[in-house]
Amino acid sequence: MNFKEVRKLLKMMNVDMNEEHALHLFTMADKSESGSLEIEQFVHFYKMLTQRDEVWKVFQDYSGDGDKLMLEELENFLSIEQQEGKQSSQHAQELIDRYEPSESAKKHGAMTLDGFQIYLCSQEGSIFKPEHRDLHQDMSQPLSHYFISSSHNTYLLEDQLRGQSSLEAYIQALKRGCRCVEVDCWDGSDGEPVVYHGHTLTSKILFRDVISTLKEYAFKVSDFPVILSLENHCGVEQQTLMAQHLCHILGETLVTTLLDGQVPQQLPSPQKLKGKILLKAKKISGPEDCVDETLTDDVSDEEEMANDDAESLSTEDPPAEPLNHDGKKSKSKLSKVLSDLVVYCKSVHFHGFEHARSHAKCYDISSFSESKAKRLAKDAGTDFVRYNSRQLSRIYPGGLRTDSSNYNPQEMWNVGCQIVALNFQTAGLEMDLNDGLFGQNGCCGYVLKPSFMRDGNTQFSPEKPEEWQGYKPLRLSIQVISGQQLPKVNQKEGSIVDPLVRVEIYGVPQDQAKEETSHINNNGFNPVWNETLNFVIHAPELALVRIEVEDYDKASRNDFMGQFTLPFTCIQAGYRHIHLLSKDGTAIQPSSLFVNISISELT
């Protein structure tokens, strides 16, 4: 490979290296002085090219002889820089055993620069605490004490007007750890209920096929319960057929009776419901009193949206019968056999927090449009947090989002809403936040809410976190050191990126913040920033940190290159790598950022 070919290859690798420097490295590697590189010579050239001075400098700070880290020196690095404390001694030996490629160094209890770099680039050296990736939370608390990964219009692959309904959409959502899926059911022309976005041109799939898919894929990724959120638009006859399909296909997987036969005072736990599917739908009555009524005052999401327009903006609306689209009292006929399958997730209309405190049961679940949920969160945040400590709430995108766009879920998590349903088919910031929150705890789809959100008498308000007695703000400092093999935005030959790094904080209103580095011209291969971004986090237990890399463009909007989002509580301090993800959440190998993170109490 001659120099011209090497230069072309470098451009393909997103490297616009100074020609003089590239030629210098090429000449050093060309030991035979033939003007071209053989395989071994190119490997040598590439090693010189990828030598990381910023890692070498950190290594030198702790290495006595500059060639290796002895066990005690590695312990010092782990204790001082990585803030590991007492566990650093045992961990140092484990890291040498795991990552040091030189058998000779291993025998002497030492780590070379190669081993040090391999460790820093590993999952243990990543920004995400390894122990938080695994299932580690208490799963024995009531369902209402967890955030639950939830999908809206799960059956759609695209928009809500002409998009395709597909079983694959359910499969993909479940594979991403989703634990609450939505099924919109309508009467089928041949007697079989169908699933699609009603009164639109979206295609139709059979209800029974959806349930069969759910049966097959519900527990591939997580053993914890799946909630089937049913939007029922069928007549009584096809509702009865739906009930038959649910019972026949799901069998004992479907919860059809109370677990212990007693009227519940609190919802069962994810642990108790492992391997089970819960039906969320309208019900003729509560689980303690099934009777042969055929009318209900409960409402669907569409009817709730109509109610939002009809009701006053008061946070404590007086009890009222739900309204249909004409503003009249809604009375929907229900099949008793379908109604009887609803046990722990009975869909009810929300009459206000005061009414819920005195009348609601733990198994009552109300749905809120994003606009109503935002209003309640802002005007009565503490009441909403208390409400969500006892019963479930489901939030769904506003009716104008026909393009299947998403709202910011963080505002709903700030008040403890569990089922914050997003359009999983639409990549972007909102799904990054969802993937970030649920990337912890074994990606099981359930995340235990902070303790102050599980207390029915909590005083916590997301609008005023400083007034809460447990208020302990923290300072987050992120030194963005360098980038490694960042992805190309434009695949055209010769195009090179000008990367910058933006760090965004999502949490309570006081925590919403973003800072960014300067951009580096023409270097996506190994850009170096050495810039520090600082933040104050007022509610650390709720905050998410999103790190995004963009290609700077002074004439138009910057282009997305990659991102990584994680809960603040999952961040490892010290020298860490951030492994970037694409728009759809898949890894972009081997693209990463090298950072130094400090977390301290605010004094």
- What CATH number is attached to the domain comprising 179? 3.20.20.190
User: Over 80: is that where the pLDDT of 50 sits?
Assistant: no
Q: Is residue 283 located within the same domain as residue 356?
A: yes
Residue 149 among known ligand-binding residues? no
User: Please, are residues 221 and 209 in contact by the beta-carbon 8 Å criterion?
Assistant: no
User: Over 60: is that where the pLDDT of 46 sits?
Assistant: yes
Residue 308 lies in a domain: yes
Q: Is residue 126 located within the same domain as residue 149?
A: no
Q: Is residue 513 located within the same domain as residue 380?
A: no
Q: Is residue 154 located within the same domain as residue 37?
A: no
Q: Is residue 201 located within the same domain as residue 348?
A: yes
Is 152 one of the catalytic residues? yes
Q: Is residue 68 located within the same domain as residue 165?
A: no
Tell me, yes or no, if the pTM score tops 0.85.
Answer: yes
Residue 367 among known ligand-binding residues? yes
The residue annotated as part of the active site, out of 145, 152, 538, 579, is 152
Name the CA dihedral angle for 352, 355, 359, 362, rounded to a multiple of 10 degrees.
40
- The confidence band for 291, taking pLDDT boundaries of 50, 70 and 90, is very low
How far is 87 from 357, CA to CA, in rounded Å?
47
Q: Is residue 122 located within the same domain as residue 230?
A: no
Q: How far is CA 535 from CA 357, 420, 496, 511, in A?
A: 38, 27, 31, 8
Helix axes 88-99, 113-121, angle to 10 degrees: 100
End-to-end Cα separation, the chain, in angstroms: 59
Residue 97 among known ligand-binding residues? no
Q: Is residue 7 located within the same domain as residue 91?
A: yes
324: burial class by Cβ within 10 Å (0-12, 13-18, 19+)?
middle
Average pLDDT over residues 9-38: 78
- The confidence band for 555, taking pLDDT boundaries of 50, 70 and 90, is confident
Average pLDDT over residues 337-352: 97
Q: How far is CA 5 from CA 26, 234, 540, in A?
A: 11, 66, 51
Residue 35 lies in a domain: yes
Average pLDDT over residues 58-71: 96
Residue 363 among known ligand-binding residues? no
pLDDT at 320: 38
User: Over 80: is that where the pLDDT of 322 sits?
Assistant: no
Q: Is residue 213 located within the same domain as residue 125?
A: no
User: Over 50: is that where the pLDDT of 223 sits?
Assistant: yes
pLDDT at 332: 61
Phi, psi of 61 (to 5 degrees): -60, -25
pLDDT digits (tens, 9 = 90+) for 345-357: 999 999 999 999 9
pLDDT at 419: 99
Residue 511 among known ligand-binding residues? no
Residue 260 among known ligand-binding residues? no
Poorest-confidence range of 32-41, 178-187, 344-353, 444-453?
A: 32-41
Q: Is residue 487 located within the same domain as residue 401?
A: no
Residue 394 among known ligand-binding residues? yes
User: Over 90: is that where the pLDDT of 80 sits?
Assistant: yes
Residue 243 half-sphere exposure, CB side, CA atoms within 13 Å? 20
Residue 531 among known ligand-binding residues? no
Residue 464 lies in a domain: no
Q: Reduced to 3 states, what is the DSSP secondary structure of residue 508?
A: coil
Query: What tokens does 257 get?
Result: 């009776």
Q: Is residue 102 located within the same domain as residue 156?
A: no
Residue 131 among known ligand-binding residues? no
Q: Reduced to 3 states, what is the DSSP secondary structure of residue 262?
A: coil
How far is 558 from 151, CA to CA, in rounded Å?
29
Helix axes 71-80, 88-99, angle to 10 degrees: 120
- The confidence band for 38, taking pLDDT boundaries of 50, 70 and 90, is confident
Residue 12 lies in a domain: yes
- The confidence band for 589, taking pLDDT boundaries of 50, 70 and 90, is confident
The residue annotated as part of the active site, out of 21, 91, 108, 197, is 197
Q: Reduced to 3 states, what is the DSSP secondary structure of residue 374?
A: helix
Average pLDDT over residues 350-379: 97
Range of the domain at 68: 3-130
Residue 378 among known ligand-binding residues? no
Name residues whose C-beta falls within 8 Å of residue 97's C-beta, 6 or more positions apart in sequence: 106
Q: How far is CA 191 from CA 5, 207, 239, 521, in A?
A: 66, 11, 11, 63
What amino acid occupies position 11?
K
pLDDT digits (tens, 9 = 90+) for 511-539: 999 999 999 999 988 899 999 999 999 99
pLDDT cut 90: percent of the chain above it: 73
How far is 174 from 292, CA to CA, in rounded Å?
35
pLDDT at 290: 41
pLDDT cut 70: percent of the chain above it: 90
Q: Is residue 107 located within the same domain as residue 147?
A: no
Is 355 one of the catalytic residues? no
User: Which residue, chain included where needed, has tokens 């390894």?
Assistant: 130
CA-based torsion, 260, 227, 205, 216: positive or negative: negative
User: Over 60: is that where the pLDDT of 161 sits?
Assistant: yes
Residue 462 lies in a domain: no
Residue 432 among known ligand-binding residues? no
Cis peptide upstream of residue 590 (ω within 30 degrees of 0): yes
Poorest-confidence range of 224-228, 268-272, 300-304, 555-559?
A: 300-304
Residue 7 among known ligand-binding residues? no
User: Over 60: is that where the pLDDT of 324 sits?
Assistant: no
Residue 486 sits in a domain of what CATH number? 2.60.40.150
